[in-house]
């Protein structure tokens, strides 16, 4: 954390929480500011609400309507792009060997900055060949924006265990150096062509999460992966991470169902390590309440009494009570049921975490 200027981790997390709150609560204004700044720097800006629109935007930005070789440095390439007849996806290894054969790079931004229209790329696999393409297509998730560039160091320190070796900030089109195949006397032996930069602002259900003032805190996530590393459920089923569980269950049209009771142990580990203080455990409890409100309103009070005050749960954590608690929560999920059966000590490890800090360790 030496680059941030903060004396301890708690202070850094508090600052990050405030910065994420400031952006999310005024997201529309900041996104429009970004568009204005980027456009003024000759960066083409498009918007995409879902994967279909994202696919269409990418295909529309390709230089040729018939045949395009593109390199992809993106977590999950949209199937519509990968299977498009006019697209030939080329690996980074091929690009390293044949620079001139691939003219487009599709890459995602780790952060975007509203105040100046800049795009931030951290330790990208394509970092060594960034300036070998004629076209740069950037996908920027609208929940991964920062208001000011000076706040970037806070999130770099929190997101990465080791300080990145490569951070690129693109604020305007840059130059691609092209070797002259037949240099003449007096020539430099190369020419400089401007790289065309386009950014697609990808919404991807973000506005759905905005509808609930509490659940919109899930948008504070900076995709650090720390919650996944400490989650016992992920270790068992290798499926959803804690933040994924929150997002998958907080929208009626998505997956709000009783399945959430088998997707979490409510151990609180994820909330404890979250660098931006997302109240993950409180969110899961809240969503459990919403599920039970739809099925049986009488159970809502039971959930509130049992889960909202985990200190009370631990005080009554006798073997007899634990047996029935496990049967209630995990009776149909043998993997989690066996996981709890092997634990002899108290297992709900944080209380009053809505304050954003760990108050008591059991």
Question: What is the per-residue pLDDT for 189?
Answer: 61
SS3 152: helix
Q: Are 351 and 360 contacting, i.e. CB atoms less than 8 angstroms apart?
A: yes
pLDDT at residue number 131: 81
Q: pTM of whole model > 0.85?
A: no
Q: Looking at the DSSP assignment, which residues form a beta bridge with residue 87?
A: 68
In tens, the pLDDT along 95-119 reads 776 656 788 999 999 999 999 999 9
pLDDT in tens, 298-344: 444 545 444 544 444 455 556 666 666 667 666 666 666 666 666 55
Q: Where does the pLDDT of residue 268 fall: very low under 50, low under 70, confident under 90, or very high at 90 and above?
A: confident
CATH number for 9-204 (one of 1.20.810.10, 3.40.50.720, 3.40.50.10420, 2.40.10.10): it is 3.40.50.10420
Amino acid 57: pLDDT: 96
Domain ranges for the chain = 9-204, 211-355
Whether 136 has a pLDDT exceeding 60, the answer reads yes
pLDDT in tens, 275-292: 999 999 888 888 777 776
Continuous segment of H or E residues that includes residue 47: strand 44-48
Q: What is the largest CA-CA distance in the chain?
A: 90
CB 196 within 8 A of CB 136: yes
Residue indicated by tokens 């951070």:
167
Structural tokens at position 88? 């030939």
Cβ-contact 311, 270 below 8 angstroms: no
The CATH code of the domain at 211-355 is 1.10.1060
On average, the pLDDT of the chain sits at 80
pLDDT for res 360: 32
Please report the DSSP string for 155-207 in residue order: HHHHH-SS--S-EEEE-S--EEEEE-SSPPTTS-SEEEEEPEEEEEEE-TTHH
* pLDDT tens digits, one per residue of 216-263: 899 999 999 999 999 888 887 777 899 988 887 766 655 566 677 777
CA distance 40 to 161: 35
DSSP 244-303: HHHHHHSSTTTT-SGGGGGT-----HHHHH-TT---HHHHHHHHHHHHHHHH-THHHHHH
Residues facing residue 120 across a β-bridge: 111, 169
Q: Looking at the predicted structure, is the pLDDT value of residue 362 above 90?
A: no
The answer to whether the beta carbons of residues 219 and 143 sit under 8 Å apart is yes
Q: How many CB atoms lie within 10 A of CB 90?
A: 18
Residue 25, both tokens: 């609560």
Q: What is the pLDDT of residue 86?
A: 92
Q: Which two tokens stand for residue 99?
A: 């620079």
């Amino acid at each position: 954390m030496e680059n941030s200027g903060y004396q301890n981790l708690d202070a850094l997390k508090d600052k990050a929480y405030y910065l994420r709150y400031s952006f999310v609560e005024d997201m529309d204004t900041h996104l429009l500011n970004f568009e204005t700044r980027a456009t003024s720097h000759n960066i083409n800006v498009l918007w995409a609400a879902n994967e279909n629109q994202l696919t269409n935007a990418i295909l529309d930005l390709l230089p040729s309507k018939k045949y395009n070789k593109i390199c992809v440095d993106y977590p999950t390439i949209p199937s519509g792009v990968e299977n498009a007849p006019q697209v030939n996806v080329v690996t980074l290894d091929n690009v390293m060997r044949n620079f001139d054969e691939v003219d487009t790079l599709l890459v995602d931004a780790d952060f975007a900055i509203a105040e100046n229209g800049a795009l931030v790329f951290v330790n990208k696999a394509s970092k060594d060949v960034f300036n070998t393409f004629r076209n740069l297509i950037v996908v920027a998730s609208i929940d991964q924006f920062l208001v000011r560039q000076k706040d970037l160091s806070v999130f770099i320190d929190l997101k990465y265990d080791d300080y990145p070796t490569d951070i690129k900030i693109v604020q305007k089109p840059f130059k691609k150096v092209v070797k002259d195949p037949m240099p003449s006397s007096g020539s430099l032996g190369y020419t400089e062509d401007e790289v065309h930069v386009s950014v697609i602002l990808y919404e991807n259900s973000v506005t759905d999460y905005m509808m609930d003032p509490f659940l919109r805190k899930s948008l504070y996530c900076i995709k650090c992966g720390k919650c996944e590393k400490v989650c016992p459920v992920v270790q068992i089923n290798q499926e959803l991470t804690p933040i994924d569980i929150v997002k998958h269950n907080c929208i009626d049209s998505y997956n709000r169902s009783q399945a959430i009771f088998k997707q979490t142990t409510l151990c609180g580990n994820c909330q404890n390590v979250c660098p931006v203080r997302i109240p993950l455990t409180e969110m899961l409890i809240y969503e459990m309440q919403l599920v039970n409100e739809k099925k049986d309103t009488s159970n809502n009070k039971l959930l509130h009494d049992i889960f909202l005050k985990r200190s009370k749960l631990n005080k009554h954590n006798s073997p007899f009570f634990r047996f029935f608690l496990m049967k209630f929560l995990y009776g149909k999920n043998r993997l989690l049921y066996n996981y709890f059966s092997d634990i002899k000590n108290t297992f709900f490890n944080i209380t009053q975490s809505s304050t954003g800090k760990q108050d008591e360790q059991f």
